[in-house]
Amino acid sequence: MLSYAVIPFAVSQNFHQQYSFQFKYGIQDQEFHVSVPASLYDYYKSLDRTVKKDSDYANFVTPELFISMADQIRTYLGNKTRSDENFANAVLTIVHQIEYGVNETKYPIETIVENAGKCDTMSFLAASIMKAGGLDVVLLYFKGVHHMNIGVHLPYEPYGTWWWQQSVGYELEGKKYWIAECTPAMDWKVGDVPPLLVNEIPSIIPLKELGESSGAQVSSKIGLPLNSSSISINLSSSSNFSSSSRLIKISGSITPANHNETIVLYLSQNGISYETITTKTDINGNYSISWNSTRKGTFYIRTSYWGNSYYAGADSEIIAIFLGTSKSIIQFESPTYYYLYGLPGASSFELENRKGLEDFLKVQLNGTGVVMTGEVMIFSSGQVITIQKNYESTGNFDMNNLGEILNNKRFSPLRLPNDIEKITNDQFAIILGDYSNNTYALNLKGLDDYDLSLEGEYNKSSSIIINASSFMREEIWYRIEAKISEEKITAIITDEYGYPIEFIEEINNKESNNQKLMFLLTNNLSQIVAFKDLNIEPILETPEDGSDQDIVISKIPTFYILLAFIIVSLSLGALFRKRKINRKILL
């Protein structure tokens, strides 16, 4: 295979749509610019769209997303006679510009971005904008002809398109809702009934319990296009120690540096479904969110600014965080045995939690070689605590929080294997391998002592190991470039100024199977490893003269592991004793 998307793909640019409409008695069309951050689109694409009963259709109506659009139209129309009717007709004019297409039931934001929908999805969009503008709206479901549109409550009969034709409406709970057709066969007005529906009676679906909101909105502007904006994202860990919390700080800023703007954090554990947290910017345009990461696994994080009536929204880079443990751990050490406090009924889980996960990411490629580039940073993840037999701490920690563990009646001392320190996957490595037959692989792994011993002692002829943990300083971005071709293996690590720190160039020993290039990034349980812009590409062709300088990279789309950050939270237990790896290129 040529490429394989391991980390969910992220679109960094917004989706933009432009509509035009002419208000009643207007003399010129108005341009209406709408911008949707990619994160907002991804969020709604991930939501469930199961419909088991008619009332479930209300879940697809999301007025909070379209407050900006509704406000822009309302402001432009002004508070004139029949302003509600004019507003509803302006919304219909916009929706009618969307192409009709048969597809699955979708959320309104998907209809905006994809610029296509059918009768139900267009109805959800029109209903969302109208409700955002303060109108009382229902869904009208004509089951006999499998069609849907909406009903709009007005305290008067709308004009409609044809003066000789009476407007059509339906009553619910003492209110009359005038029909409003949303499909683009013609520019229907409120009260116009399509010929297909003249003799049909709809089921009326009230919009009381609506779909969930991400906390974000689309941005929009009538007239000139929206200006662009940007948002940055940083990540750090809290040093607070607790058995019930594990705080990670997500922070950044927006440009322009506006005050009191809404920022949405999107958090996904599987890249499919999302949770959201919202906050506001301070007077300098900065934001900060604390996330309590009490679950283990891989999480994808990005932040989004949804803009305003002058600026389009923007998304940050994606951060992929790996958490190997779901809780804080205190372990105890004596000269003869080791144990930790945990749940006795879940001893196997406690042990696996303590050992940590081994495989974080694996990508396989085919070609005549492989090129990897990216930036890496390490920083502290907080405290790691080891308690000696007399319960005196070897580190600095809060005794009150420790008492929370020791006094927990559900916890008991659990005996650990005597070689627990040797089987803990606390050495983070990037491994780029040549597995013969034009097959290459990238692995991000947690290695234990036995793994390192195997690589260092038994695979000396096939493994090149760069011990970057001996020179990498915290909170500094280092760039890594590596290439394995049929002729040689090269790698370089440069600092934040572009100065080379480590460089190797070795002949690719094709007689030795499974040639590997390994970067050891940290052997400290209290450190986090972060990646930014990690890319890998296969080399698909070699020049006829055999020179390695002019390798031709495929013109197919680059394989992007959109892995802006991977936090290797290997603090799955305390560090019994530090182990230093010899700072040599070859073990």
Alpha carbons 431 and 442: distance in angstroms, whole number: 6
Same domain, 343 and 489: yes
Same domain, 202 and 350: no
| Final residue belonging to a domain, choices 206, 239, 266 | 206
Bin 368: left if φ > 0, else alpha if -120 < ψ < 50, else beta.
Answer: alpha
Residue 412 CB burial class (10 angstroms; 0-12, 13-18, ≥19): middle
| Final residue belonging to a domain, choices 206, 232, 249 | 206
* Average predicted confidence (pLDDT) for the chain: 77
Residue with tokens 């934040």: 496
* Residue 135 forms part of a structural domain: yes
CA dihedral 389, 395, 396, 399 (to 10 degrees): -20
pLDDT of residue 577 exceeding 80: no
- The domain in which residue 545 lies consists of 330-569
Cis before 256 (ω within 30) = yes
- At residue 540, the pLDDT reads 80
- End-to-end Cα spacing for the chain: 33
- At residue 381, the pLDDT reads 62
User: Which segment of 60-69, 213-222, 408-417 scores lowest on mean pLDDT?
Assistant: 408-417
| Final residue belonging to a domain, choices 206, 233, 256 | 206
**Residues 161-182: pLDDT tens digits?**
877 788 999 999 899 999 999 9
Same domain, 494 and 362: yes
Q: Give the whole-number percent of the chain exceeding pLDDT 70.
A: 69
User: Which segment of 59-63, 117-121, 416-420 scores lowest on mean pLDDT?
Assistant: 416-420
Beta-carbon contacts of residue 236 (< 8 Å; ≥ 6 apart): 248, 249, 251, 379
- At residue 204, the pLDDT reads 95
- At residue 422, the pLDDT reads 67
Confidence of residue 311 (pLDDT cuts 50, 70, 90): very high
Contact 493, 478 (CB under 8 A): yes
- At residue 379, the pLDDT reads 74
Between 394 and 248, the more confident residue is: 248
Confidence of residue 575 (pLDDT cuts 50, 70, 90): very low
Beta-carbon contacts of residue 170 (< 8 Å; ≥ 6 apart): 140, 151, 176, 177, 179, 201, 202, 204
* Residue 185 forms part of a structural domain: yes
How much is the average pLDDT of 485-499?
91
Between 401 and 207, the more confident residue is: 207
* Residue 222 forms part of a structural domain: no
* Residue 72 forms part of a structural domain: yes
**Residues 549-563: pLDDT tens digits?**
433 333 223 333 333
Structurally, the chain folds into a number of domains equal to 2
DSSP letters of 5-71? --SPP---SPEEEEEEE--TT-SS-EEEEEEE-HHHHHHHHTS----SSGGGGGGG--GGGGHHHHH
Residue 165 CB burial class (10 angstroms; 0-12, 13-18, ≥19): exposed
- At residue 282, the pLDDT reads 96
**Residues 443-487: pLDDT tens digits?**
887 787 777 777 665 555 677 889 998 899 888 889 999 999 888
- At residue 202, the pLDDT reads 94
pLDDT of residue 406 exceeding 60: no
* Residue 287 forms part of a structural domain: no
Mean pLDDT: which of 18-32, 348-362, 382-396, 515-529 is highest?
515-529
Alpha carbons 422 and 417: distance in angstroms, whole number: 10
Beta-carbon contacts of residue 59 (< 8 Å; ≥ 6 apart): 209, 210, 211, 212
**Residues 228-278: pLDDT tens digits?**
999 999 887 765 555 556 678 889 999 999 999 999 999 988 777 888 999
pLDDT of residue 125 exceeding 90: yes
**Residues 179-189: pLDDT tens digits?**
999 999 888 99
Q: Which long-range contacts (CB under 8 A, 24 or more apart) does 539-542 make?
A: 539/367, 539/368, 539/369, 539/370, 539/371, 539/483, 539/485, 540/2, 540/367, 540/368, 541/368, 542/368, 542/369, 542/485, 542/486
Alpha carbons 190 and 300: distance in angstroms, whole number: 44
pLDDT of residue 84 exceeding 90: yes
Alpha carbons 148 and 150: distance in angstroms, whole number: 7
pLDDT of residue 95 exceeding 60: yes
* Residue 371 forms part of a structural domain: yes
Domain with 85 in it: what CATH number?
A: 3.10.620
SS3 call for 469? helix
Contact 196, 119 (CB under 8 A): no
* Residue 6 forms part of a structural domain: no
* Residue 108 forms part of a structural domain: yes
Beta-carbon contacts of residue 182 (< 8 Å; ≥ 6 apart): 92, 95, 96, 119, 122, 123, 125, 126, 149, 150, 188
